[in-house]
Amino acid sequence: MDVELEELIAEADNSNWAGEPSRRLADGIEAQIVAPLSSRLTVALGRDEAAQLARTIAWERCRELAVRRPEAGVSWGYLANLVRWRLIDVLRAEVTRRQRHPLTDRLPEREAPQVLPLGPCLERIALELDRVGLPASAARRFIRVAADGPPFYRSAIVNRLRLAGALRSQAEGFVWLVRGGAANRSALARLATGESPTEVFKDPVVRRWVLAAAGLDLSFSGGDTGLLRRRAARWELARTA
């Protein structure tokens, strides 16, 4: 299995991260990293958020390992440790945030809801979507659909969202918010690594993802980073004029 991870990373990197080799690596991440996540993390962060964060972190680390590989090589255990440490950092940050507010430091016991909470970072994205006009219930539903895989490559997530009733532009917006791309980290990944929500959501590119996911930018289709940033700035200027 140790050799398999190195082979999967090398295969994806040599193909310039083409669809099929990337899918095989994503499947390996799902089986070796996401499925064995500890119950402590999934309960504390929320099942969907813990799983999606694990996928995002593992994928980013695989991209980094393709460029800078340790002399001792890489293994599934090595990658699982990297992911676990990052998730524990996220959990510590969330615990610290709650401890600043004594009323939320100790929550009353209650029965587990039928639908598990998304977790703090995905809930923050749902809140932002609600603020611009997409009902929070719809935002949460689409976020769950996006996270309900595998597979987790872009086209598969878009197809699931379209089947759930999202417009093409909405689906693309949700993909960028929770998955990101090679040039732009997702809003989820940025929130998970400690960036403030204010900083994340005032970014013109992220702002356009939010508006697209809310159904307010029907022309959105993703694209080149620089072009997307210029279009986002123009679109926001026209919207507020």
User: Do 83 and 45 fall into the same domain?
Assistant: yes
Could you tell me if residue 10 is inside a domain? yes
User: Do 99 and 127 fall into the same domain?
Assistant: no
Q: How far is CA 223 from CA 141, 185, 229, in A?
A: 25, 14, 10
User: Do 90 and 131 fall into the same domain?
Assistant: no
Q: Convert the pLDDT of each residue in 102-140 to its tens digit.
A: 554 444 444 444 444 667 888 899 999 999 988 888 898
- At 151, is the pLDDT very low, low, confident or very high (cuts 50, 70, 90)? low
User: Do 87 and 127 fall into the same domain?
Assistant: no
Query: Strand, helix or coil at 230?
Result: helix
Could you tell me if residue 127 is inside a domain? yes
| Through-space distance between the first and last CA atoms of the chain, rounded to whole angstroms | 57
User: Do 160 and 231 fall into the same domain?
Assistant: yes
User: Do 53 and 93 fall into the same domain?
Assistant: yes
Q: Give the residue-averaged pLDDT of 99-104.
A: 53
**189: containing domain:** 120-240
Q: Give the residue-averaged pLDDT of 162-176.
A: 91
Q: Convert the pLDDT of each residue in 33-70 to its tens digit.
A: 898 888 888 887 788 888 888 888 888 888 888 888 77
User: Do 86 and 128 fall into the same domain?
Assistant: no
User: Do 125 and 219 fall into the same domain?
Assistant: yes
Could you tell me if residue 129 is inside a domain? yes
Q: pTM of the predicted model, to two decimals?
A: 0.54
Q: What is the pLDDT of residue 125?
A: 92
Could you tell me if residue 21 is inside a domain? yes
Q: Convert the pLDDT of each residue in 202-215 to its tens digit.
A: 999 999 999 999 99
Does residue 232 register a pLDDT over 80?
no
- pLDDT exceeding 70 applies to what percent of the chain? 78
Runs of H (alpha helix) within the chain: 2-14, 19-29, 39-45, 47-67, 76-99, 120-131, 136-147, 154-163, 168-178, 187-192, 197-202, 204-213, 225-240
Question: Of 104, 134, 150, which one is at a domain's C-terminal end?
Answer: 104
User: Do 64 and 30 fall into the same domain?
Assistant: yes
Structure tokens at 87: 């998730």
Could you tell me if residue 131 is inside a domain? yes
Compute the mean pLDDT over every residue in the chain, rounded to the nearest whole number: 79
The DSSP letter of residue 179 is T
Q: Give the residue-averaged pLDDT of 8-13.
A: 89
Could you tell me if residue 113 is inside a domain? no
Q: What is the pLDDT of residue 46?
A: 82
User: Do 201 and 150 fall into the same domain?
Assistant: yes
Question: Of 74, 104, 134, which one is at a domain's C-terminal end?
Answer: 104
User: Do 25 and 84 fall into the same domain?
Assistant: yes
Report how many domains make up the chain.
2
User: Do 132 and 194 fall into the same domain?
Assistant: yes
Could you tell me if residue 111 is inside a domain? no
